[in-house]
Amino acid sequence: MPGPPPLEPAFDVVGVGLNATDTLIVVPRFPPYSGKAPFEEDILSPGGQVASAMCVCARLGLRVKYIGTVGDDERGRIQMESLRGSGINLDHVQLRANCPNQSAYILIDRATGERTVFWKRPPCLRIEPGEITADQIACARLLHIDGHDTPAVEHAARLARGASIPVSVDVDTIYAGFERVLPLVDYLIASSEFPRNWTAEEDPFLALETIQNEYGMRMAAMTLGAHGALARIGGRFVYSPGFVVDCVDTTGAGDVFHGAFCYAVLQAMPIEQALEFSNAMAALNCKALGARGGIASREEALALMHKAERRSHPEFAGRSGAVSG
């Protein structure tokens, strides 16, 4: 007789990585270097790349678990309140005693919505590999990580690989030892600067191709801000232009993109649709203040995809689509 069917994982996605509590400082426009300017308002707002991506996944209806560390100060309380309100499982979030939460001061140019970030993460928030166990990872259909506590996220990615769980990574800077993480990744979505800095290759197409050929991930991609995203998958480049919206604040746009892409992977969307959907979710978040201020629904993103103007970059549009070597 056949055995019982395999158990459905308890979660759709588990995230291991950063959270932060931001102080948003809104100015009419950025002053010149060494200048002075009045600010319009300052707001405490929860953020952090993996935690915010998990909030997006939860908003889109996925079953979500977050693994990380949170300080026991007021900023930590604000972060935990936001995560609990999103319906995310926090069973393996560690509240670190006598430790301030990661914080960021984000200056937002009211005229353009662009932001500049100053951040600090105390060493007491570091998460160690031994604090992440196999059962915490194997309970999900997909793992999403960043690169900050590199040994810990490497360990989580190895656990996922051992359980045949795909791994998505959000990385924007070079971390020591990250070359041990990249072979464990299925979906790399980096900032526009990371592929160039990692490979010393100025051409973004060649930089993505070099990374993918060296580490063998299924997809190597980069976000391009207002111009959308570029990905290499199946031996070809796919470019998805960004959406034109009334931008209030770009804070968290990349985090929202990653959360939406995790959702798209689990929904088995074709790559073109996955990138377009993720761009739409990111654009909608830019219409409000804060990293999580404008997290939209699936229906709102689909509506934007059907009616909004796109902002296409001529070079990326002209060079994508062809099969590469």
Per-residue pLDDT reduced to its tens digit, 83-139: 999 999 999 999 999 999 999 999 999 999 999 999 999 999 999 999 999 999 999
Give the pLDDT of residue 325. Answer: 43
Which residue type is seen at 70? V
Alpha-carbon distance values, 267 to 24, 94, 151, 263, 298 (Å): 34, 30, 30, 6, 12
Give the integer Cα–Cα distance in Å for 232 and 209: 7
pLDDT at 318: 87
pLDDT at position 307, please? 85
pLDDT of res. 2: 61
Q: Which residues in the chain come in under a pLDDT of 50? A: 322-325
Token digits of residue 70: 């949170």
Residue 81, number of CB atoms within 10 A of its CB = 11
For residue 185, give the nearest of 168, 173, 198, 170 by alpha carbon. Answer: 168
Q: How far apart are CA 1 and CA 167, in angstroms?
A: 35
State the Cα–Cα distance between residues 40 and 9, nearest whole angstrom: 47
All structural domains of the chain with their residue ranges: 11-319
Find, among 178, 172, 140, the residue nearest to 159 by Cα: 140
- What CA–CA distances, in Å, run from 259 to 13, 285, 294? 10, 12, 13
The CATH code of the domain at 11-319 is 3.40.1190.20
Q: What is the DSSP letter of 323?
A: B
Which pLDDT score, from 0 to 100, does residue 159 have? 98
* Distance separating alpha carbons of residues 124 and 70, to the nearest angstrom: 10
Other C-beta atoms lying within 10 Å of the C-beta of residue 97 = 8
pLDDT of residue 8: 85
Instruction: Match 């929860």 to its residue by tokens.
Output: 46
